[in-house]
Structure 1
Amino acid sequence: MNKITIVGLGPGDIDLISRGAMEALKNSKRAVLRTKEHPVVEKLIEEGVEFDSLDRYYETECSFEKVYSSIAEHIVSMAKEGVVYAVPGHPRVAENTVSLIEKLAGEKGIGLEIIPSMSFVDAMFNALGFDPSDGFVLLDALSFKSREVSSDKAVIITQVYSKFVASETKLKLMEYYDDDQGIYVVGHAGIKGSESIVSMPLCELDHYKGFDHLTSVYVPRGSSKKFKDVYELEDIMDKLRSKDGCPWDIKQTHQSIKKCLIEEAYELADAIENDDVEGMIEELGDVLLQVVFHSQIGKEEGLFNLDEVADSICKKLIYRHPHVFGEDKYEEATFMKKWEDMKKAEKGEETVAEGLIRIPRHLPALIRAHKAQTKAAYVGFDWKEIEDVYKKVQEEYKEVVDAHAAGDIQYIQEELGDLLFSVVNLSRFLKVDPEESLNITTEKFIRRFQFVEIEAAKMGKNIQDMTLEEMDMLWEAAKKVLG
């Protein structure tokens, strides 16, 4: 026979199981139920339907994913002699095993027939009195993520069968909705005499007492969200750039706001340096605004949009991490070399110099020098010992002195650049960030100079009228006090 017939048992009332599904079960010599935890099972027994149930997989397997795959494999293994597989509700609605069986059956050339019954979702539409054409999101409590919910649509969450699952569901929903958001717990939807609908605030979901396998949660459309998301930021930016928007935002271009991103990035770096969490939230928002701003301009020009920006970075991250998303395995020590090789292939570069040229000229000079040296070092163009680096620093320092003695301004600039470049090389060998090191020293200079100025004022002196020797005495005092 080599055939699988999948039937729906309906939401739980015997009147809601289809005639075709019931006939298939009655006439089957090999009927299998995913679970016998369903109200119509008692009626099937009364009708003389003989069946096996697969509840045992829920007890022996370590995860729901494994339960579903094991059930699918079991049903497909029975196909040779024909099997009728029964699932709660409608086979096409929130039934993972059916999707897995369909895939396996297709691969093995096994015939498949699906006989539907009324879905529990249909029963919920009726019980709650809402029109599904207004839009709704159907989620599985065992696997959904908070970002999948939507305040623009009603949300139905299935399989909230225990207090533990309810607690996990509550925590996920509270990442998105306000804690006191009104929800409905729906039990036994469509089953005469036992259907129940209980309203409560979201924060009390796991206080409900009647959880079982026929319990679902309903969140009404238009519910209040805890946070605005990036898509709302995109809508705000679209409004600001519209004909009724802000005149300043409307006239901006990629060129006019390019410096804003750099400024916001530095303000974020400052917040991170100061361990300012609130500042980080604000500055990260400002950086995100710049991304959305450029994406909005790109969309208006018909060149790109935010989705394409996100798609680009997602693909890049997956491509550049084959040890995470693929089968490649290599040690951390070789990772950066692999990373550079992938970037070269990605950019279509055939030479190392092409990669050096690609380093943005707008980067701070110390960072750009460090990046250039690092890229060259990956192919072996580097000093072998740090002693050689020290010698190079000394050599370049002497050349600066000689250039100054010669009085050649252009020569001085060139030799001073060589000296700075060799110091960056030294920082790389010492595994110290040159940009951060210089910033630390600059901050230290500012603190000490402030000390000098304050102490001079205490002495009744204006720092501008002091001699270098007097200021130097206060400077030494600042070093002792401030370090």
Structure 2
Amino acid sequence: MHKLHILGLGTGKSEELSYKAYNLINSEKPKYARTIRHPVLTEQSYKNLKAFDEIFEKEDNLEQVYQIIKETLDYALDQYDEIIYIVPGSPYIGDRIVDSYLNEQHGIEIDIIDGCSFIDKAIKLSGTQNMRVNIIDGQVLNQYSIDIHGDNIICGIESQALASRIKIELTEIYPYDTNVIFMDILKNKREQISLFELDRQENYDYSTYIFVESIDITMLDMYNINDLKNLMSLLRGPDGCPWDRKQTHMSLRECVVEEAYEVVDAIENNDVDNLVEELGDLLLQVVFHSQIAAEEGYFNFEDVIAGICKKLYSRHPHVFLDSKAHDETEAKLNWDEIKEKEKKTSSYTEKIAGIPQSMSPLTRGYKIQSKAAEVGFDWPNASGAVLKVKEEIAELMEAYETMDAVKIEDEIGDLIFAIINFARFMGINPDIALNKTNKKFIRRFEFIEKNADKDLKDMTLEEMDYLWELSKRH
């Protein structure tokens, strides 16, 4: 049986090695080091020692590097039966070759000689007393891997380029002048620097680590969904805000609608900065309602997330299952068919009546007519819809002659419904169309006020109408 000794060099010099480790590294057995850049290996020469530094330098693809190293070690085991693989720090932490052999163990006897890990040394150098320390590989760090509530140690900052990338990620979360501890594990050195200085240091190596201490959460530049949930829980708590504590699902109904409309406004105005703010306000409503429901024992935010994820999976069989959708029309049909099965509606009327009454009446009318059209209850083309609009105008005029308020109200409703139907044929959302007209009216009214030579209340209708017509040219 082949025998593989895996020797951890720890974080110091050869005098810190165990007796067994010292004897192994000074033996004549073939030795393969992950890197030569370690005090134990540079302070003297060793027989039959080869290092893989050149492979790391030549290959950009780490997967390829690990494959070459593994194949080299496998070949050496076949050739010599017993070899030594040498790694910095502890073999149990951060070496994928070791993990590979530990997971396989086919016909190979594994002998591990542990050493002090770089992480243990980094924790000591950092001086943290926090029991909650988040360890992150610098190669794969992003802002989402940072624990913004705890201490973070970022490992293996091997180059200035990597330090720059890490700095960019961290400054998305922390203030630019946040103090961090810059550490060289092998040299047992630490220095406090500002975050903006991270990529301005003299030396970087695989033993370069930094420690980022937790800071006051109100000073952060980036938060996550858990922060919003915790903040809402605090605001609803005994020491929170009286207004927030008093709110209910019912009292917040208008807020949900209002925030949704403000999102639409930001989109229509192509105002990206405002869109960020308005999406946040809308998200707050989701978290707010989830918090209220959690307090009442009905559901929580995680249930909301689980529900929408399950829905997206189930309604996209053309993505996650074997169903097909060659274009957006087929995808929409898939969605609607699955939705109907889930809703278990037994009649077409139920489908129409199931359109939420809390919707904008214009949008609800649009959807009602769309559902009716699905079974053929529709004009063959837009011309029929136009004739219906004319018919309803005539009926409204007849009702107007009677001055019967109830009848006039009915006919106004019929006319609006007919106009919505025509808009549907034209592919126009009536809510959006009316909203544009509202904005247009405000712009033109503003023109009148700005160009009037006296207070609007003192102007005649003819004077204001003249300015109104002028506003159309601007």
The TM-score range, normalised by the shorter chain, is 0.7 to 0.9
Structure 1 residue 440: deviation in Å?
1.4
Question: Secondary structure in 1 aligned to 2:125?
Answer: helix
- Give me the whole-angstrom Cα distance separating, in 2, the residues matched to 1:432 and 1:214: 62
Partner of 1:148: 145
Which residue, 153, 157, 161 being the options, matches 2:158? 161
Structure 1 residue 261: deviation in Å?
1.5
Question: Secondary structure in 2 aligned to 1:89?
Answer: coil
Structure 1 residue 296: deviation in Å?
1.6
Q: Would you say the 8 A contact 1:16–1:118 is kept in 2?
A: no
Which residue, 211, 218, 236 being the options, matches 2:211? 218
Question: Secondary structure in 2 aligned to 1:216?
Answer: strand
Which residue, 381, 388, 391 being the options, matches 1:398? 391
Partner of 1:482: 472
Q: Would you say the 8 A contact 1:58–1:67 is kept in 2?
A: no
Structure 1 residue 397: deviation in Å?
3.0
Comparing 341-350 with 88-97, greater Cα deviation is found at: 341-350
Structure 1 residue 160: deviation in Å?
0.4
Aligned residues: 465
What's the TM-score once normalised by structure 2's chain length?
0.79
Comparing 231-240 with 353-362, greater Cα deviation is found at: 353-362
Q: Would you say the 8 A contact 2:444–2:471 is kept in 1?
A: no
Structure 1 residue 363: deviation in Å?
1.3
1:328-371 CA distance string (max 9 Å, x none):
77444543334434545665668776655543221112223334
- Give me the whole-angstrom Cα distance separating, in 2, the residues matched to 1:449 and 1:26: 91
Comparing 31-40 with 357-366, greater Cα deviation is found at: 31-40
Partner of 2:239: 244
1:292 corresponds to which letter in structure 2? V
Question: Secondary structure in 2 aligned to 1:118?
Answer: coil
Question: Secondary structure in 1 aligned to 2:250?
Answer: helix
Q: Would you say the 8 A contact 1:455–1:474 is kept in 2?
A: no
Question: Secondary structure in 1 aligned to 2:251?
Answer: helix
Structure 1 residue 89: deviation in Å?
1.9
1:482 corresponds to which letter in structure 2? K
Partner of 1:298: 293
Q: Would you say the 8 A contact 1:10–1:88 is kept in 2?
A: yes
1:423-455 CA distance string (max 9 Å, x none):
434434433332211111233234445656777
Partner of 1:41: 41
1:209 corresponds to which letter in structure 2? E
Structure 1 residue 137: deviation in Å?
0.8
- Give me the whole-angstrom Cα distance separating, in 2, the residues matched to 1:59 and 1:376: 67
Q: Would you say the 8 A contact 1:183–1:219 is kept in 2?
A: yes
What's the TM-score once normalised by structure 1's chain length?
0.77
Structure 1 residue 128: deviation in Å?
3.1
- Give me the whole-angstrom Cα distance separating, in 2, the residues matched to 1:289 and 1:459: 42
Question: Secondary structure in 2 aligned to 1:288?
Answer: helix
Structure 1 residue 111: deviation in Å?
7.7
Question: Secondary structure in 1 aligned to 2:124?
Answer: helix
Partner of 1:369: 365
Question: Secondary structure in 1 aligned to 2:153?
Answer: strand
- Give me the whole-angstrom Cα distance separating, in 1, the residues matched to 2:295 and 2:359: 29
> Any stretches of 5+ residues in structure 2 without a counterpart?
none
- Give me the whole-angstrom Cα distance separating, in 2, the residues matched to 1:31 and 1:345: 66
Partner of 2:202: 209
Partner of 2:170: 173
2:252 corresponds to 1:260:
no
Question: Secondary structure in 2 aligned to 1:91?
Answer: coil
Question: Secondary structure in 1 aligned to 2:140?
Answer: coil
- Give me the whole-angstrom Cα distance separating, in 2, the residues matched to 1:323 and 1:26: 62
Q: Would you say the 8 A contact 1:176–1:227 is kept in 2?
A: yes
Structure 1 residue 13: deviation in Å?
3.1
- Give me the whole-angstrom Cα distance separating, in 2, the residues matched to 1:294 and 1:482: 44
Structure 1 residue 291: deviation in Å?
2.1
Cα–Cα, structure 1 residues 454 and 331, in superposed 2: closer, same or farther, change >3 Å? closer
1:94 corresponds to which letter in structure 2? G
Question: Secondary structure in 2 aligned to 1:198?
Answer: strand
- Give me the whole-angstrom Cα distance separating, in 1, the residues matched to 2:372 and 2:70: 54
Q: Would you say the 8 A contact 1:141–1:169 is kept in 2?
A: yes
Structure 1 residue 272: deviation in Å?
4.1
Cα–Cα, structure 1 residues 255 and 332, in superposed 2: closer, same or farther, change >3 Å? same
Question: Secondary structure in 1 aligned to 2:149?
Answer: coil
1:187-225 CA distance string (max 9 Å, x none):
1x2x4xx33222211001111011122111111233652
Structure 1 residue 258: deviation in Å?
2.3
Question: Secondary structure in 2 aligned to 1:200?
Answer: strand
CA RMSD of aligned residues (A): 4.3
Cα–Cα, structure 1 residues 412 and 100, in superposed 2: closer, same or farther, change >3 Å? farther
2:420 corresponds to 1:424:
yes
Structure 1 residue 243: deviation in Å?
2.4
1:13-71 CA distance string (max 9 Å, x none):
3345555666677789675444444443347952x354563752662354x35545665
> Any stretches of 5+ residues in structure 1 without a counterpart?
none
